[in-house]
Amino acid sequence: MPIRLFDSLSRDYRELRPAQPDGLFRFYNCGPTVYAPAHIGNFRTFVVNDLLRRLLELEFGKDKVKHVRNLTDVDDKTIRRAREEGRPLAEVTRQWTEKFHADCAALNCLPPHVEPAATGHIPEQIDMIAALERRGHAYRTEDGSVYFKVSSFPGYGALSRVKERELRVGSAISGKPQTHDADEKEDGSDFALWKGHKPDDGDTFWPAPWGRGRPGWHIECSAMSKKHLGDTIDLHTGGVDLLFPHHENEIAQSQCCNGTPFALHWYHSEHLLVDGKKMSKSLGNLYTLDQIKEMGHSPSALRYALLAGHPRKQLNFTLDSLHAAEKALAQLRAFRASLAPGGTADPFGPALAALQDDLNTPHALGLIFTTLHAGPAGIAPAAFERILFALGLDLTEALKPVANTPPEVTALAEQRWAAKNAKNWAEADRLRGAIADLGWSMLDRKDGYTLEPAKK
């Protein structure tokens, strides 16, 4: 079954397939702004994109998917943070990039094939801005900035239908530019391609034909997707807040520069909420992965909780959802331990099909648990592994902290965990003794266990 996904541009469900004859599926996902730890709302978006990446690999083959996710390592927020801390910009963004990588790994997200950083692609961005200027889509202002002239691109607003919205509130009819800031835009909807250097930017600037400065946020994604995926890509994704203006502006820049369609499919996942409000740094209502771990929950439980809601519906985050996730993971673990090697049946086809049908994770999880309740008899362990891979659920997570655990100890621990989940206390005690005889102790947690060398 092909993957079918809602497309924000055509507002319809469409099948995903590579458009180019080389059969490579080109996938661009807007990445994080690296000035602080990403919150679990951000991670909802990245986990959903990781699910997509895994489904694409299962569908087209591991080497037929190219996944690019950028790092926004220069913008107002990163510069402000570096200034406040009195540290070089590159040092601040390196710190938060490393933290982002560690959190992604803990959440079992596959790393993208290319992770370009905005500061590593300044010449590409300058080239694109110069091309836009040559073609009459951009103009310079006195302060050394360059703006995109929105009125030069008739297709503007197709993704967000922003023109209709503007017309409804009457601002466009009045003909007054909607200028909120003291810049020199010709029209309120024009946006910066290049920002002329200001004293607040300190030593963060690059030379350019129109004066020193730094690129605008939108041009970085247009330039980096062009560089790493070419002029036309198969799928472009991000959280729903990026739809306007970021993605609308990317389309305008890329299509006016390249003269070809930019992204053939647009997908936007919905927000994670806390108490009915969007989780965001500005509202201060956020949780980080570290805070979740400090509360005694595992990254796997968070991943599960983030996947439990339909990605195109808002999800209200609660601590109860983490408890439910831990229970579900324990059941999955026990089921895995009870699968016999000789099984050949694959009852997980419908669950995979649910994922392929617009990432319907709640339906898929429901189907998986129906299968679990029917019992493990005859089921191929590989079939279970495949659906776990699709969801990115790492059931061995609790074992990870001790890398040098002997395999026979791990095997006994898995058996004991299964016995405990089956409430077979006598067997669980026997296995604990067998583990101790090998010099290890098994510590039970809510959602799994850890193994440590026994204290002498």
Evaluate whether 113 touches 66 at the Cβ level (below 8 Å). Answer: yes
Q: Which stretch binds ligand AMP (CB under 6 A): 112-120, 163-171, 235-243, 437-445?
A: 235-243
Q: C-beta of 290: minimal distance to ligand AMP in Å?
A: 17
| CA 101 to chain CA centroid, nearest Å | 12
Q: State whether residue 443 is helix, strand or coil.
A: strand
Q: What is the DSSP string of 142-191?
A: TTS-EEE-GGG-TTTTTTT-HHHHHHHHTHHHHT-----SSS--SSTT-E
Evaluate whether 147 touches 192 at the Cβ level (below 8 Å). Answer: yes
Exactly one of 30, 306, 329, 367 binds Zn ion (CB under 5 A); that residue is: 30
| CA 440 to chain CA centroid, nearest Å | 38
Exactly one of 30, 395, 419, 451 binds ligand AMP (CB under 6 A); that residue is: 30
Q: C-beta of 238: minimal distance to ligand AMP in Å?
A: 4
Q: How many residues bind ligand AMP (CB under 6 A)?
A: 17
Q: Which stretch binds ligand AMP (CB under 6 A): 2-10, 104-112, 255-263, 271-279?
A: 271-279
Under rule CB under 6 A, residue 118 binds ligand AMP = no
**What is the rounded distance in angstroms from the CA atom of residue 16 to the CA atom of residue 28?**
14
Q: Whose Cβ is closer to Zn ion: residue 109's or residue 325's?
A: 109
Under rule CB under 5 A, residue 256 binds Zn ion = no
Q: Which stretch binds ligand AMP (CB under 6 A): 11-19, 30-38, 349-357, 413-421?
A: 30-38
Q: What are phi and psi of 19, to 5 degrees?
A: -85, -25
CA-wise closest residue to 65 among 29, 102, 39: 29
Residue 42: which of ligand AMP, Zn ion, none does it interact with, CB under 5 to 8 A by kind?
Answer: ligand AMP
Tokens 């099909």 locate to 353
Instruction: Give the C-alpha distances (Å, rounded to integers) separating 455 from 401, 404, 433, 441, 448.
Output: 17, 16, 14, 8, 21
Neighbours of 400 (CB within 10 A): 12
Parallel, antiparallel or unpaired: strands 277-278 and 266-269: unpaired
CA-wise closest residue to 450 among 395, 400, 394, 393: 400
Q: Which stretch binds ligand AMP (CB under 6 A): 61-69, 237-245, 415-423, 427-435?
A: 237-245
Burial class (CB in 10 A: 0-12, 13-18, 19+), 280: middle
Under rule CB under 5 A, residue 263 binds Zn ion = no
Q: C-beta of 242: minimal distance to Zn ion in Å?
A: 6
Residue 221: which of Zn ion, ligand AMP, none does it interact with, CB under 5 to 8 A by kind?
Answer: Zn ion
Under rule CB under 5 A, residue 305 binds Zn ion = no
Instruction: For helices 40-60 and 349-356, give the axis angle rounded to 10 degrees.
Output: 120
List the x/- string, 147-186, binding to ligand AMP by CB under 6 A.
Answer: ----------------------------------------
Q: Whose Cβ is closer to ligand AMP: residue 253's or residue 269's?
A: 269
Evaluate whether 337 touches 362 at the Cβ level (below 8 Å). Answer: no
For ligand AMP, which residue has the nearest CB? Answer: 239
- Give bridge partners of residue 214 from the DSSP assignment: 195
Q: C-beta of 401: minimal distance to Zn ion in Å?
A: 35
Residues in the chain: 456
Q: Whose Cβ is closer to ligand AMP: residue 268's or residue 416's?
A: 268
Q: How many residues bind Zn ion (CB under 5 A)?
A: 2
Evaluate whether 279 touches 304 at the Cβ level (below 8 Å). Answer: no
Under rule CB under 6 A, residue 232 binds ligand AMP = no
**What is the rounded distance in angstroms from the CA atom of residue 117 to the CA atom of residue 100?**
14
Under rule CB under 6 A, residue 278 binds ligand AMP = yes
Exactly one of 8, 26, 28, 44 binds ligand AMP (CB under 6 A); that residue is: 44
Binding to ligand AMP, residues 52-111 (CB under 6 A): 72
Q: C-beta of 257: minimal distance to Zn ion in Å?
A: 15
List the x/- string, 183-222, binding to Zn ion by CB under 5 A.
Answer: --------------------------------------x-
Residue ranges binding Zn ion (CB under 5 A) = 30, 221
Q: In the complex, which residues of this chain contact ligand AMP (CB under 6 A)?
A: 30, 32-33, 41-42, 44-45, 72, 238-239, 241-242, 271-272, 278-280
